[in-house]
Amino acid sequence: MRGSHLSRTRSLAIVLALAASGAVALSGCGQKQQTVGSAPPPKKQDAFERRADQIARDWPKVSPVAGRQEALLPLVGADRPKGSEGKDIREITVTVGHSACDARFGARSQESKGLVVVTGWGKKKSAKGMCTEMLATDKVKVKLKGPLGDRKVVDAATGKELLKG
């Protein structure tokens, strides 16, 4: 009986130590073993995702963001692809206003039931060398997860409607 008591005490100590570390192996009726641990931390939203959620929540009462942010560059406009008619549009073209100093630039979107929130983004070149602060504009295609339908396309930086579906 004494050996059995020590064995149970050691097993309990091991289970408690594993529980404290966030992972415990449990078994039921000795057949299947299952590992239980803490859930992964929630993904932290970036500036664009937070802004797109705010626009979807507050639409149409949305104010522009203050200042220039690399993740929220204003868009000059948005166009449907040429020759596309109807509600099955799954791609739009936006004109991104970015710095001539940006080494890379592009656009991204976040979709909800009634809106497609789009932003431009830019990554500056390294600080070496001279660069003008001249505005450059380029067209960028944005693929949509679902058809545009009747949704409105909204610029994340300005909060303005660019296109009606």
Q: What is the domain partition of the chain in residue ranges?
A: 2-37, 47-164
3-state secondary structure 35-59: EEECCCCCCCCCHHHHHHHHHHHHC
At residue 23, the pLDDT reads: 45
At residue 33, the pLDDT reads: 57
Q: pTM of the predicted model, to two decimals?
A: 0.69
CA dist 106 and 72 (Å) reads 11
* pLDDT, greater one: 23 or 158: 158
CA dist 78 and 37 (Å) reads 46
* pLDDT, greater one: 12 or 147: 147
Cβ atoms within 10 Å of 98's Cβ, excluding its own: 24
Q: What is the pLDDT of residues 115-157, one digit of tens each?
A: 999 999 988 776 666 777 788 899 999 999 999 888 999 999 9
Query: Are 75 and 120 contacting, i.e. CB atoms less than 8 angstroms apart?
Result: yes
Q: What is the pLDDT of residues 49-89, one digit of tens each?
A: 999 999 999 999 999 998 777 789 889 999 976 666 656 88
